[in-house]
Amino acid sequence: MTSTRELDILVDELLAAHDPAGTAPLDFLRARFDAGLAWVHFPPGLGGLGAPRSLQARVDARLAAAAAPDNDPRRIGIGLGMAAPTILRYGTDEQKARFLRPLWTGEEVWCQLFSEPGAGSDLAALATRAVREGDHWVVTGQKVWTSSAHVARWAILLARTDPDVPKHQGISYFLCDMSDPGVEVRPLRQLTGEAEFNEVFLTGVRIPDAHRLGAVGQGWTIAQTTLNNERVAIGGRRTPREGGMIGILARIWRERPDLRTHELHQRLLAGWVDAEVLRLTGERLGQQLAAGQPGPEGAAAKLAFARLAQELSGLEVELLGEEGLGYGDWTMVRPDLVDFTGRDAGYRYLRAKGNSIEGGSSEILRNIIAERVLGLPAEPRTDKDVPWKELSR
């Protein structure tokens, strides 16, 4: 086990060999990965040291103090939070060696090709087909709500490889090159005026079998790992006290006494308490992650995050009154990342509406919590044992 002293020595050696002031950011990030300081809990040779996850904060703090470049985690959040842990758990040695380094350094952006027009909340009903032809799979179908598809080089993809078995059993998991022929990305303009999401059409896309993750038909099991990590990444971020939306509201309250009312004060206090509970829950989830893979508890954190973001963004608009009704620029752009806290109140209010859909809708998350956390009886499912091809769609 790596000690804090050993960790400090590695950081010192990295900084001595690659002075952040004189090293190109990408070269520094590559050197950091190779030194095992990217994600210290990953195995040696894959950007880590096999050390406790809790030591990562020490590495990050020391490198930040040295003005070292980071990998812009918001821009590559899907790769870091979803693709990387899934590849680490189910990928071959060749896949881990090929994909993890450029994923972490930000050289290759990732997106998620899961949801479909007819398989959103019921993801297992997906209809995108993958048919094997020799050493390749030919994939045809449509995906939707794909964040960052317009800037992504790679995608984690679910496709149906066996329509003759029940829907959960006939799915396989692939790593799709977004630059391949047959991949078409179209923008989906949102309530905010921007096109952060996309729809993706796959027409005869040929994916090598070497880019299949896990066994044929194991896709649903592997997808659970991805989805659990996604929910933790969205709702279980470890933030400082008064981080995020509650920090914006608290600052406005302190700086603008002219906006204060007793009723808004009570709502702000309630929101502050809820935000603090969510922050402490994030800390607890971080401890669970240090001990192993995230479980369905991440669904509770994501559910609470969505509700709180919508409540607080609405409270901000009410607090600002007429000022809160303005909207900076309703322009059709395709952003590289979601800048939630760096925008105006109108943007935050509109964008927060998507929090209860992305990463699993709030209704589905309530089912997950009820069945897998609380142990309540499952909802009746009449299609569980029916071959997918016999289901009405």
The single residue of 199, 230, 297, 316 carrying the catalytic annotation is 230
Annotated active-site residue 230? The verdict is: yes
Q: Which residues pair with 160 in a beta bridge?
A: 129, 171
Alpha-carbon distance of 262 to 139, in angstroms, equals: 58
Two structure tokens written together for 298: 């991440």
Alpha-carbon distance of 167 to 164, in angstroms, equals: 9
Two structure tokens written together for 280: 């402490």
Burial of 79 (0-12, 13-18, 19+ CB in 10 A): buried
Q: Which residue has the tokens 């589905």?
A: 364
Q: Yes or no: say if 302 and 231 are a contact pair by the CB < 8 Å rule.
A: yes
Q: How many Cβ atoms from other residues are within 10 Å of residue 123's Cβ?
A: 19
At 374, phi and psi to the nearest 5?
Answer: -85, -15
Alpha-carbon distance of 305 to 12, in angstroms, equals: 38
Closest by alpha carbon to 79, among 50, 39, 51, 41?
39
Q: How many Cβ atoms from other residues are within 10 Å of residue 227's Cβ?
A: 24
3-state secondary structure of 312: helix
Residue 306's alpha-carbon distances to 244, 285, 361, 364, in angstroms, are 13, 17, 10, 13
Q: Which residue has the tokens 């009312």?
A: 261
Q: For residue 68, give the DSSP letter.
A: -
Alpha-carbon distance of 177 to 210, in angstroms, equals: 12
Two structure tokens written together for 153: 């080089």
Closest by alpha carbon to 343, among 146, 237, 193?
193
Catalytic residues: 230
